[in-house]
């Protein structure tokens, strides 16, 4: 009998504010340990929190972007537990009254269909510091640079039905926070962290007992961890066992999930409202201000590119997953006036180049204007599409401009009729048997002859002209 | 000069009767002489005090006329002072040197006051007798066998004993007003949010408020003028204009509607105090005030509600004292668990531990609604009681404490001690301003009249208190020095900042 997988994700997104959630300390990544911790971050006696207004605006931005309710009044709470990297002995978070309420995110599935995933809530909280166990022989080090960095914890409904859907949701979330410019979403640096709640059930049955897989730090690992966990739960249930509700850690080396030690999870956090902060009141004015600043979001842009440039939904999806790529594409398309060619060049050649060189589009050696120039030369017949790829490689190496490369390498397409006539004559002479076959009615031999002519011209001859002249010359 | 009020001292300094250095030196001599018996100061900073006084004298010579310029001051040891030990009366912070000043400390420094030192207090402000301090109990200058009240007992004893003319305190459930009552001085707690809590070590964040201990209400007004105001570093500090507190001292008692809360005159109030407080109310009436009986129907719930809310907040506020970054750390911890357990077991005293346990329990899963949520509901009811009363009266007046100062060790049962604050606690739960002014003596010991005003009526409360002090002279009756002859020769009179600097590397466990 079939099993149905039920997944809900809790995603921590690190907000890209300049300073921490409750103190003025810098949040820049990679500074020397404890160089970015002020007296509040160190939880010195008598120090008090002051909410970072920028972080609040970012949370509202996210809420508006996913069509969520924005709480007019939200409340911070203290979540109490002892750990050396938690200086105050409590984490300031939001339990009962989060800033962002119910909203939704649309994901696009491989079969081309769309699915709406509910977002239960998104709340603001401060990050903890880091415990460093490797650097010291017998002691543990504490680095409080990260302590107090603002996080937005985005909790989904259990609407996801496969590891693939979970990854699509996560990628969409990644795309949204980047479009909104509220986080770099970099999973490898912990700017985006994911906990997955996984259960299985017989279709139509009540929800099964779930396990929570903690801190999975890449899209690929999320997929693998869920796959593993689903298989594990199936095995347990099919062997007549029961699923224990527990927290598990994903081990990417062994590709398995393992239960965390009981002690690490059996916590009573004794939440209560943070008395050092007043409830956060968000008025219409702030909401409207933030709404007015909202950029175009991935779904809207996808649709616009489809309509404006006549792109396929697939192409539009690929091009809009990242705002930077979409910007690049639009710039290229407008400059060269051919969206289809631009879409192909951006999503195939350019993407290939960037992947190969491990570059982000911001660091692309070929600018959008430059790529548009190249496409123009294809369109005006100066070079063929094939030659354009050669020019592209030269451009990737940082060489000069499109026109200079064409001139220097002598890549200009031959369109001079006399020159092509000579070429055709030479081909007919050197391939007499094939020419005869064509004259005898074997039409398909023409392709071979065109190929020979192109080869002879080192790709520079205009293929359409070659084709036409060959037909004319071999006319019986 | 040590018997003069701040107002009088300011006048004398400005007419050049003596200098701030002379005044400061007189205070320091007095501290040296009396502190061994009173134990009011934990740390005295002679050198920097004299330097500050000299600076104040130079400023005055240049024409500076700020009212607090050159007036000696003591801070309760709960206010962080940059580079000066700030212990909060606890072994946990015995050697803690803050790298920052509290907002209150900054403001009084900017006003030109001269810092003499830091005063003793109940550990983390948890106590009503000043017996929970790691640095030993404070004695009441009126009778050293008696407690000075708490938790700001060191500040109250220092002002009453003539060791300094003014001191800061904090009041979470009565910690300024009750010691003021026991020591026969004026203790003022402003509305919650009026004075910055930045740099003031937290006990119960939603109740804690800084205030003043002085001889007179006019002195309190001078201090408040310097201390009050918005501090953007404290999100609960209030953005509203600071009134002219000294100017409002001219307020008239004629036609003033004074609410007399029935619940404050029932059970537990000693006969002597009741008689005295009724006589004090009579003085107000004679001056033209109208006495109106009022009920505060939920007042009886204030102590239980307080002993849920305050410990709950304290249990979280004190979690930071874990031996990891600063403060006391146990010797050679075996592992993390051991570090936490022994550091906190050894670093905190009994009362602090009791309240952390109570607060932790009240917030635990399954008990939260029954305790914390219910206590918050009571808090709203108490606020509503006051709001209804203030629709009919301008101020509320009654006893500050049910009785006069008691003997050291007399209240061993914690719950009995908690009932000390039965008249003061509701004011903190409601966040109101209130003052205790000396109103009489019972068996030779002082007690106070408690005057409560509506939200942010600091000027009115101080004005009424000032008018009362124009009619009475209880605030001028200083303790006789015969009680205070120094004892135990050879015992250092107090700690100096250097003591802490030198002993910082000493092993803690041996103490």
A375-398 per-position pLDDT tens digit = 988 888 788 778 888 888 888 887
**pLDDT tens digits along A204-241:** 899 999 999 988 889 999 999 999 999 999 999 999 99
What pLDDT shows up at residue B498?
A: 66
Burial code (b: 16+ CB inside 10 Å, e: under 16) for A421-451 equals eebbeebbeebeebbebbeeeeeebbeebbe
Structure tokens at B58: 């130079």
Chain A residues lying within 8 Å of B358, measured CB to CB = none
Order of strands, edge to edge, in the sheet holding A90-93? A90-93, A77-80, A272-273
Q: Is A175 in the same domain as A42?
A: yes
What pLDDT shows up at residue B490?
A: 42
Q: What is the ipTM of this complex?
A: 0.94
CA distance A41 to chain B (A): 11
Chain A residues lying within 8 Å of B338, measured CB to CB = none
Q: Is A361 in the same domain as A255?
A: no
Is A87 in contact with B324 (Cβ distance < 8 A)?
yes
**pLDDT tens digits along A22-31:** 999 999 888 9
- In terms of Cα–Cα distance, which of A15, A19, A80, A70 is closest to A280? A70
Closest chain B residue to the Cα of A143, Cα to Cα: B325
Q: Is A257 in the same domain as A401?
A: no
Tell me the three state secondary structure of residue B64: coil
User: Domains in chain B, ordered, with CATH?
Assistant: 6-299+378-498 (3.90.1300.10)
Among A364, A383, A408, identify where a domain stops.
Answer: A408
Closest chain A residue to the Cα of B202, Cα to Cα: A46
What pLDDT shows up at residue A392?
A: 85
What pLDDT shows up at residue B483?
A: 46
Is A87 in contact with B99 (Cβ distance < 8 A)?
no
Cα distances from A58 to residues A21, A386, B88, B352, B487, in angstroms, run 11, 46, 39, 40, 64
Find the CATH number of the domain harbouring A465: 1.10.10.410
For chain A, give the percent of residues with pLDDT over 70.
98
Q: Is A52 in the same domain as A199?
A: yes
Among A382, A408, A434, identify where a domain stops.
Answer: A408
CB A228 within 8 A of CB A216: no
CB A250 within 8 A of CB A232: no
What pLDDT shows up at residue B499?
A: 64
Do strands B257-261 and B290-294 pair parallel, antiparallel, or not at all (unpaired)? parallel
Q: Is A265 in the same domain as A348?
A: no
Least confident interval from A247-256, A454-463, B352-361, B441-450? A454-463
Residue A343 pLDDT > 50, yes or no? yes
Is B98 in contact with A44 (Cβ distance < 8 A)?
yes
Rg (CA), chain A: 30
Of B80, B316, B365, the CB nearest to A89: B316
Chain A residues lying within 8 Å of B345, measured CB to CB = none
Q: What is the mean pLDDT of each run of 10 residues along chain B (511 residues)?
A: 93 97 98 96 98 98 96 98 97 97 98 98 97 97 96 98 97 98 98 98 98 97 98 97 82 94 85 96 97 95 96 98 96 94 98 97 93 96 97 97 95 85 95 98 96 97 96 91 47 64 41 33
Structure tokens at B385: 């009681």
Chain B residues lying within 8 Å of A276, measured CB to CB = 202, 205, 235-236
Closest chain A residue to the Cα of B320, Cα to Cα: A88
Average pLDDT over residues A361-370: 90
Q: Is A118 in the same domain as A230?
A: yes
What pLDDT shows up at residue B28?
A: 98
Q: Is A393 in the same domain as A434?
A: no
CA distance B219 to chain A (A): 26
Do strands B114-119 and B72-76 pair parallel, antiparallel, or not at all (unpaired)? parallel
Residue B452, strand partner residues = B396, B434
Q: Is A150 in the same domain as A179?
A: yes
Q: Is A116 in the same domain as A164?
A: yes
Whole-number mean pLDDT of chain A?
91
- Residue A51: pLDDT band with limits 50, 70, 90: very high
CA distance A382 to A52: 56
CB A282 within 8 A of CB A70: yes
Q: Is A306 in the same domain as A284?
A: no
Is B233 in contact with A50 (Cβ distance < 8 A)?
yes
Of A45, A48, A78, the CB nearest to B234: A48
Is A84 in contact with B368 (Cβ distance < 8 A)?
no
DSSP A155-203: EE-S-B-SHHHHHHHHHHHHHHHHHTTS----GGGTSEEEEEEEEEE-T
CA distance B342 to chain A (A): 14
Q: Which range, A82-91, A451-460, B475-484, has the best average confidence (pLDDT)?
A: A82-91
Chain A residues lying within 8 Å of B88, measured CB to CB = 45
Q: Which residues in B357-475 belong to E strands, given as ranges?
A: 395-399, 434-442, 445-452
CA distance B368 to B359: 10
Average pLDDT over residues A84-107: 97
What pLDDT shows up at residue A263?
A: 52
Residue A46 pLDDT > 90, yes or no? yes
Answer whether A111 touches B (CB < 8 Å). Answer: no
Is B236 in contact with A276 (Cβ distance < 8 A)?
yes
Q: Is A277 in the same domain as A425?
A: no
In angstroms, how far is CA A415 from the centroid of its own chain? 44
CA distance B362 to A272: 10
> Terminal CA-to-CA distance of chain A, rounded, Å?
70
Structural domain of residue A322, as residue ranges?
296-408
Among A264, A289, A314, identify where a domain stops.
Answer: A289
Q: Is A211 in the same domain as A258?
A: yes
Domain count along chain A: 3
Q: Which residues in A100-172 belong to E strands, given as ranges?
A: 103-108, 114-126, 130-132, 141-143, 150-156
Does the annotation count B175 as an active-site position? yes
Does the annotation count B485 as an active-site position? no
Does the annotation count B181 as an active-site position? no
What pLDDT shows up at residue A265?
A: 52
Of A39, A47, A272, the CB nearest to B363: A272
Q: What are residue A199's phi and psi, to 5 degrees? A: -145, 165
Chain A residues lying within 8 Å of B319, measured CB to CB = 80, 82, 88-90
What pLDDT shows up at residue A475?
A: 77
Cα distances from B292 to residues B268, B285, B390, B396, B425, in angstroms, run 22, 10, 11, 9, 22
CB A181 within 8 A of CB A54: no
């Amino acid at each position: 009998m079939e099993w149905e997988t039920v997944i809900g994700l809790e995603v921590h997104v690190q907000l890209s504010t300049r300073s921490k959630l409750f103190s003025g300390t810098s949040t820049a990544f990679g500074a020397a340990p404890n160089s970015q911790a002020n007296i509040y971050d160190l939880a010195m006696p008598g120090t008090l929190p002051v909410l970072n207004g920028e972080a609040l605006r970012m949370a509202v931005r996210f809420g508006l972007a996913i069509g969520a309710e924005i709480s007019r009044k939200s409340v911070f709470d203290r979540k109490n537990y002892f750990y050396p990297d938690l200086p105050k002995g409590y984490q300031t978070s939001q339990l009962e009254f989060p800033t962002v309420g119910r909203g939704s995110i649309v994901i696009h599935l491989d079969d081309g269909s769309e699915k709406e995933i509910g977002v239960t809530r998104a709340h603001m909280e401060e990050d903890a510091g880091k415990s460093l166990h490797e650097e010291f022989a017998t002691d543990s080090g504490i680095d409080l640079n990260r302590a107090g960095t603002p996080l937005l914890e985005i909790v989904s409904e259990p609407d996801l039905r496969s590891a693939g859907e979970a990854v699509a949701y996560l990628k969409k979330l990644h795309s949204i926070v980047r479009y909104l410019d509220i986080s770099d979403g970099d999973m490898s640096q912990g700017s985006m962290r994911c906990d997955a709640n996984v259960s299985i059930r017989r279709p139509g049955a009540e929800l099964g007992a779930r396990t929570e897989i903690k801190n999975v730090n890449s899209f690929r690992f999320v997929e693998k961890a869920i796959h593993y966990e689903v298989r594990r739960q199936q095995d347990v249930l099919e062997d007549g066992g029961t699923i224990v509700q527990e927290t598990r850690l994903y081990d990417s080396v062994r590709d398995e999930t393992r239960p965390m030690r009981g002690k690490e999870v059996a916590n009573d956090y004794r939440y209560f409202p943070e008395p050092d902060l007043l409830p956060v009141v968000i008025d219409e004015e702030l909401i409207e201000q933030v709404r007015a600043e909202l950029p175009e979001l991935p779904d809207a842009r996808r649709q616009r590119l489809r309509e404006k440039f006549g792109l396929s939904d697939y192409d539009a999806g690929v091009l809009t997953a990242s705002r930077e790529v979409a910007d690049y594409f639009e710039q290229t398309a407008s400059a060269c006036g051919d969206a289809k060619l631009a879409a192909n060049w951006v999503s195939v050649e350019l993407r290939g180049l960037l992947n190969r060189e491990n570059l982000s589009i911001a660091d692309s050696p070929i600018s959008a204007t430059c790529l548009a120039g190249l496409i123009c030369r294809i369109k005006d017949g100066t070079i063929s599409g094939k030659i354009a790829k050669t020019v592209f490689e030269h451009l990737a190496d940082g060489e000069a401009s499109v026109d200079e490369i064409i001139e220097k390498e002598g890549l200009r397409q031959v369109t001079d009729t006399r020159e092509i006539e000579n070429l055709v004559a030479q081909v007919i002479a050197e391939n007499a048997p094939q020419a005869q076959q064509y004259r005898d009615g074997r039409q398909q031999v023409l392709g071979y002859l065109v190929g020979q002519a192109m080869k002879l011209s080192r790709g520079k001859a205009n293929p359409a002209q070659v084709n036409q002249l060959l037909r004319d010359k071999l006319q019986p | 000069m040590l018997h003069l009020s701040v107002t009088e001292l300011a006048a004398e300094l400005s007419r050049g009767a003596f200098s701030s250095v002379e005044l400061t030196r007189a205070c320091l001599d007095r501290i040296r002489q009396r502190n061994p018996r009173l134990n009011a100061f934990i740390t005295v900073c002679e050198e920097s005090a004299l330097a500050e006084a000299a600076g104040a004298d130079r400023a005055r010579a240049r024409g500076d006329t700020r009212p607090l310029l050159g007036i000696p001051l003591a801070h309760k040891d709960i206010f962080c002072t940059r580079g000066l030990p700030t212990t909060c009366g606890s072994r946990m912070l015995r050697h803690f040197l803050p790298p920052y000043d509290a907002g209150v400390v900054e403001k009084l420094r900017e006003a030109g006051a001269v810092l003499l030192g830091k005063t003793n207090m109940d550990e983390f402000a948890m106590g009503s007798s000043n017996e929970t301090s790691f640095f030993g109990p404070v004695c009441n200058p009126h009778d050293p066998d008696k407690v000075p009240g708490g938790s700001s007992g060191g500040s109250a004893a220092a002002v009453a004993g003539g060791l300094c003319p003014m001191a800061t305190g904090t009041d979470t459930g009565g910690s300024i007003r009750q010691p003021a009552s026991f020591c026969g001085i004026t203790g003022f707690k402003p509305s919650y949010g009026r004075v910055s809590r930045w740099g003031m070590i937290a006990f119960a964040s939603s109740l804690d408020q800084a205030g003043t201990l002085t001889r007179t209400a006019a002195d309190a007004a001078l201090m408040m003028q310097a201390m009050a105001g918005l501090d953007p570093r404290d999100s609960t500090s209030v953005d509203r204009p600071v009134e002219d507190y000294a100017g409002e001292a001219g307020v008239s008692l004629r036609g003033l509607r004074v609410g007399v809360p029935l619940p404050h005159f029932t059970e537990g109030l000693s006969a002597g105090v009741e008689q005295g407080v009724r006589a004090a109310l009579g003085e107000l009436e004679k001056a033209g005030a109208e006495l109106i009986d009022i009920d505060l129907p939920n007042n009886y719930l204030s102590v239980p509600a307080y002993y849920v809310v305050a410990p709950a907040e304290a249990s979280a506020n004190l979690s930071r004292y874990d031996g990891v970054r600063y403060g006391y750390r146990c010797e050679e911890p075996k592992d993390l668990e051991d570090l936490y357990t022994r550091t906190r077991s050894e670093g905190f005293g009994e009362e602090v531990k009791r309240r952390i346990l109570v607060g932790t329990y009240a917030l635990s899963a399954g008990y939260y609604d029954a305790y914390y949520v219910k206590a918050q509901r009571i808090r709203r009811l108490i606020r509503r009681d006051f709001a209804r009363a203030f629709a009919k009266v301008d101020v509320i007046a009654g006893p500050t404490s049910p009785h006069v100062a008691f003997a050291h060790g007399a209240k061993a049962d914690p719950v009995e001690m908690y009932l000390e604050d039965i008249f003061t606690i509701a004011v903190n739960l409601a966040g109101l301003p209130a003052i205790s002014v000396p109103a009489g003596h019972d068996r030779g010991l002082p007690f106070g009249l408690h005057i409560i005003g509506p939200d942010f009526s600091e000027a009115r409360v101080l004005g009424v208190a000032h008018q009362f002090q124009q009619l009475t002279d209880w605030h001028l009756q200083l303790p006789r020095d015969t009680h205070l002859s120094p004892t135990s020769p050879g015992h250092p009179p107090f700690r100096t900042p250097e003591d802490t600097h030198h002993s910082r590397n000493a092993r803690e466990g041996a103490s």
